[in-house]
A and B are shown apart, each in its own frame.
Chain A
Amino acid sequence: MNQIPHPTSDFITGTYAPAPESTSHVKIQPYYRLFINGKDVDAAEGTRFKTINPATETVIAEVASAGETDVDSAVQAARTAYDKTWFRMSGRERGKYIYRIARLIQERSREFAIVESMNGGKPIRESRDVDTPLAAAHFFYYAGWADKLEYVFPSRDARSLGVAGQIIPWNFPLLMAAWKIAPALAAGNTVVLKPAETTPLTAMLLAEVIRDADLPPGVVNIINGGPATGAALVNHPDVNKIAFTGSTDVGKIIQRSLAGTPKKCTLELGGKAAHIVFEDASLEEAVEGIVNGIFFNQGHVCCAGSRLFVQEGVADTVIGMLKNRMDTLIVGDPLDKNTDIGAINSQPQLDKITKMVNRGVDEGGTLYQCNNQLPGKGYWYNPTLITGVAQSSYVVQEEIFGPVLAIQTFRTVDEVIEKANNTRYGLSGGVWTDNGAKIFHVTRRIRAGVLWANSYNKFDPASPFGGYKESGFGREGGVHGLYPYLEVV
């Protein structure tokens, strides 16, 4: 037979050529002030901090850091706006403003996605396809509720609370801002939002959007800063409600500070989700779900499927398939459209992940890691599996908040339900099986706020999200997400 010539090609042997998202139309200011009462203001004490791109370690902007005085003026602005404007405004009028914010986010979505990736390290594929559209969707969704509150709780009166203090994490900076601000405004409250210290920039873009939407001054105030700023907001006597998303440790501090005060509180904290694969699952799709479950956003996801349970009959097959799939993951420049795994958010987080994985190995765990060539600068961690671990292992009990999956096997349904619940967290979980009855049998017995069947990490503004046990309390999203911002009498 004739031999067909074999063409040489980098498509075959090499990596994909760089396909970076253009940043030409994005203008990041050298310095962002505090957004209080509709104006950009310097911090009273003039303090600033630098914010970096975790993929390059370069400083991309400076940000004003709010002290106690600034927190006080933000809360005062919010109080005045609540008393004078927002409280008196009809739901339909409030809804108009919220719709406007949603549309403006859509209009500037590319800019939001790029800045999110530059400041937080997440791949542009996610900031473009997940974070930004979902943030807009949350505003659209809650805008629709603004004039329908009386129908949410029939025969009862739903009243706004006043000023909501909101503290958000660095893993989904824009999306978490949307999750917090949208229901608060729809329910008729005014807001003081504190973004995370490492990721202030998309919140500052959101401040621009809010100004462009012509929201009455003081209805939304955005102040950057570290733990001291957060503490000042939590402890401010004129705040009616605190909503916090972040670590369980900080959640506990907040709850202690609020004890004995009339402030309402919701906490969305850590997680260590059980991701369960039964032997009658569609395995190819389950492997994809495992990858999405743990490597989405570098594993910086509170609901990440970080504890994998595979039924013994298919354990070797699934782990083999998973390793093969991991070998095709591309770690690198967050702005490259082909990047699957971006940069770890900060040096301290990278150190934490490294330390925890080392401890897992010391305890006898076996590692499998992707062998992507990591860039010289920036914070990176190759996707990692740890096998040979048990419920008593450190890496199974503790939230790592990185691209690290701890794998255990199981034999029976009862056994895996017991193990899934045997954690101090209860935020999320996943079940893979082609047997519909088994889906309901298992998910009804797992004590977690969100459970996915034959999928993972799916989000929708109409669906409530929140935890059991040390994963917090209160729900965000859906009708349930309005409740924490209302007094129902």
Chain B
Amino acid sequence: MNMNKYHFESPEIPHIDKVGVEERVARLNSRSIKKDSKLSALKLALSMIDLTTLEGKDTPGKVKQLCTKAIHLHDALLHLPSVAAVCVYPRMVRYAKDFLQGTNIHIASVATYFPSGMNSLQSRLEEIRFAIDEGADEVDMVISRGKFLQGEYQTIFDEVSEAKHVCGDVHLKVILETGELRTLQNVRIASDLAMSAGADFIKTSTGKVQPAATQPVTLVMLEAIRNYYRKTGRRVGMKPAGGISDAKTAIRYLVMVRETLGPDWLIPGLFRFGASSLANDLLQQIVKQLTGVYQSPDYFSKD
């Protein structure tokens, strides 16, 4: 399929030393982010959140709660950034669109038979079309992990490249579901495949499989992005998702990005957190930084 500028190349088999990756992560985690650096990192993390609800029991009412939270993160504080996006299932996109009208908050939708991806490519692409028609600004797709583990790399390339074709200008985030890929080497191969097929973002996980985002996996993906940027000059974004629920962990991820890809990547256009409960911990820490005391969790709305 030669529908765009991206061509399949059999991926290089990377050499990755797990012990070395974990040591690098440990060293990055020893960075001590305090005072002004901490406050600005907390605000930055807030601006990078994809506030997410992806459940079978989601209703327009639940989506409305989420959107309201996105707009009114913590009105007691002035000059807070808003979150980057709200992330929902395709059927919920139209409601989110409605509730978020007039704001800068994006609507991201998962598609391609999230979270398993187990359907025909045609149906999966159809779901992307539906999400975009409903008003999604960003699409989070899943790759076929079974096919990947069978070594059918061309299939993965093709599904991403066709998804990107359907997306056009709509941002495509490609979920690798790294918890199912198991090895860091596979994570690197899948990252390279997704980027070479046109992904705008690569994303760790759906949040439905454990382990979800981990720091070693994220570091390997950031290194893949760096390598791809050096080769092609194209900046691909990164989205760890699942399990990042406190400010301290979020800051550690930001340190990894800063020291692996540099400050250019520290924008919501190139880095996101897929998370639902992270926002309130960030807010609580921001208040602590500003006032010196922790407030009770009851002062922060839970939607």
Write the residues of chain A forming the contact surface with B, with a CB cutoff of 8 angstroms.
1-7, 9-14, 16-19, 125, 129, 280-286, 288-289, 320, 328, 337-338, 434, 454-455
In the assembled complex, the Cα of A284 lies from the Cα of B254 at a distance in Å of 19
Looking at the assembled complex, report how far the CB atom of A124 sits from the nearest CB atom of chain B, in whole angstroms. Answer: 10
Since A6-B268, A282-B20 are in contact, a sample of 16 more A-B pairs with Cβ atoms closer than 8 Å, ordered by chain A residue number, is: A2-B104, A4-B104, A6-B267, A7-B40, A11-B44, A12-B258, A16-B34, A17-B33, A18-B34, A18-B35, A19-B32, A281-B15, A284-B223, A285-B21, A288-B20, A288-B27
Q: Is the CB of A328 within 8 A of B20?
A: no
B37 to A, closest residue via Cβ: A17
Q: Is the CB of A282 within 8 A of B16?
A: yes
The answer to whether residues A285 and B16 also contact, given A4-B84, A337-B30 and a CB cut-off of 8 A, is yes
Q: Is the CB of A337 within 8 A of B32?
A: yes
Q: Is the CB of A454 within 8 A of B266?
A: no
Residues of B within 8 A of A13 (CB): 263
Those of B35-60 within 8 Å (CB) of chain A: 35-38, 40-41, 43-44, 47
Q: Is the CB of A11 within 8 A of B47?
A: no
Looking at the assembled complex, report how far the CB atom of B258 sits from the nearest CB atom of chain A, in whole angstroms. Answer: 7
Q: Is the CB of B41 within 8 A of A9?
A: yes
Q: Is the CB of B23 within 8 A of A125?
A: no
**15 residue pairs bridging A and B, Cβ less than 8 Å apart:** A2-B106, A4-B104, A4-B106, A5-B81, A7-B47, A9-B41, A10-B37, A11-B44, A13-B263, A16-B33, A16-B34, A282-B15, A328-B259, A454-B17, A455-B20
**Residue from the list B37, B104, B223, B268 in contact with A14, Cβ < 8 A:** B37
Q: Is the CB of B266 within 8 A of A11?
A: yes
In the assembled complex, the Cα of A2 lies from the Cα of B171 at a distance in Å of 12
Which of A14, A17, A328 is the most central at the interface, judged by chain B CB atoms within 10 Å of its CB? A17
Residues of B within 8 A of A16 (CB): 31-34, 37
Is B211 positioned at the interface, with any CB of A under 8 Å from its CB? no
In the assembled complex, the Cα of A129 lies from the Cα of B26 at a distance in Å of 12
A1 to B, closest residue via Cβ: B137
Q: Is the CB of A12 within 8 A of B15?
A: no
Q: Is the CB of B38 within 8 A of A125?
A: no
Looking at the assembled complex, report how far the CB atom of A313 sits from the nearest CB atom of chain B, in whole angstroms. Answer: 13
The answer to whether residues A4 and B268 also contact, given A12-B263, A282-B16 and a CB cut-off of 8 A, is yes
In the assembled complex, the Cα of A434 lies from the Cα of B17 at a distance in Å of 8
Report the 5 A-B pairs with minimum CB-CB distance, sorted nearest first. Answer: A285-B20, A9-B40, A19-B32, A337-B32, A282-B15
In the assembled complex, the Cα of A289 lies from the Cα of B21 at a distance in Å of 11
Q: Is the CB of A285 within 8 A of B104?
A: no
Q: Is the CB of B35 within 8 A of A11?
A: no
In the assembled complex, the Cα of A281 lies from the Cα of B14 at a distance in Å of 9
Residues of B within 8 A of A282 (CB): 14-17, 20
Looking at the assembled complex, report how far the CB atom of A338 sits from the nearest CB atom of chain B, in whole angstroms. Answer: 6
Residues of A within 8 A of B41 (CB): 9, 11
Q: Is the CB of B44 within 8 A of A12?
A: yes
Residues of A within 8 A of B38 (CB): 11, 17
Looking at the assembled complex, report how far the CB atom of A294 sits from the nearest CB atom of chain B, in whole angstroms. Answer: 15
The answer to whether residues A5 and B34 also contact, given A11-B40, A282-B16, A285-B24 and a CB cut-off of 8 A, is no
The answer to whether residues A17 and B34 also contact, given A1-B169, A12-B263, A285-B16 and a CB cut-off of 8 A, is yes
What band does the interface of chain B fall in when counting residues whose beta carbon is under 8 Å from A? 35 or more
Is B117 positioned at the interface, with any CB of A under 8 Å from its CB? no
Residues of B within 8 A of A281 (CB): 15
A281 to B, closest residue via Cβ: B15
Which of B17, B34, B259 is the most central at the interface, judged by chain A CB atoms within 10 Å of its CB? B17
Is B19 positioned at the interface, with any CB of A under 8 Å from its CB? yes
The answer to whether residues A5 and B104 also contact, given A19-B32, A328-B259 and a CB cut-off of 8 A, is yes
Q: Is the CB of A289 within 8 A of B20?
A: yes
The answer to whether residues A9 and B43 also contact, given A2-B104, A16-B31, A17-B38 and a CB cut-off of 8 A, is yes
Looking at the assembled complex, report how far the CB atom of B244 sits from the nearest CB atom of chain A, in whole angstroms. Answer: 17
In the assembled complex, the Cα of A4 lies from the Cα of B171 at a distance in Å of 13
Q: B177-203: contact bitstring with A at CB < 8 Å (1 yes, 0 no)?
A: 000000000000000000000000000
Which of B24, B81, B104, B259 is the most central at the interface, judged by chain A CB atoms within 10 Å of its CB? B24
In the assembled complex, the Cα of A10 lies from the Cα of B43 at a distance in Å of 11
Residues of A within 8 A of B14 (CB): 282
Residues of A within 8 A of B43 (CB): 7, 9
Is B269 positioned at the interface, with any CB of A under 8 Å from its CB? yes
Residues of A within 8 A of B230 (CB): 320
Looking at the assembled complex, report how far the CB atom of A132 sits from the nearest CB atom of chain B, in whole angstroms. Answer: 15
The answer to whether residues A11 and B258 also contact, given A3-B104, A288-B24 and a CB cut-off of 8 A, is yes
Residues of B within 8 A of A280 (CB): 15
**Residue from the list B27, B34, B269 in contact with A19, Cβ < 8 A:** B34
In the assembled complex, the Cα of A6 lies from the Cα of B82 at a distance in Å of 10
Q: B272-295: contact bitstring with A at CB < 8 Å (1 yes, 0 no)?
A: 000000000000000000000000
Residues of A within 8 A of B81 (CB): 5, 7
Q: Is the CB of A284 within 8 A of B47?
A: no
In the assembled complex, the Cα of A288 lies from the Cα of B20 at a distance in Å of 8
Looking at the assembled complex, report how far the CB atom of A314 sits from the nearest CB atom of chain B, in whole angstroms. Answer: 10
Q: Is the CB of A455 within 8 A of B19?
A: yes
A21 to B, closest residue via Cβ: B32
In the assembled complex, the Cα of A64 lies from the Cα of B169 at a distance in Å of 75
Looking at the assembled complex, report how far the CB atom of B225 sits from the nearest CB atom of chain A, in whole angstroms. Answer: 12
In the assembled complex, the Cα of A19 lies from the Cα of B103 at a distance in Å of 38
**Residue from the list B19, B37, B268 in contact with A11, Cβ < 8 A:** B37
In the assembled complex, the Cα of A10 lies from the Cα of B44 at a distance in Å of 10
Those of B64-110 within 8 Å (CB) of chain A: 81-82, 84, 103-106
A125 to B, closest residue via Cβ: B30
B44 to A, closest residue via Cβ: A9
Residues of B within 8 A of A2 (CB): 103-106, 137
Residues of B within 8 A of A289 (CB): 20
Q: Is the CB of B17 within 8 A of A10?
A: no
Residues of A within 8 A of B169 (CB): 1
In the assembled complex, the Cα of A283 lies from the Cα of B20 at a distance in Å of 10
Q: Is the CB of A5 within 8 A of B24?
A: no
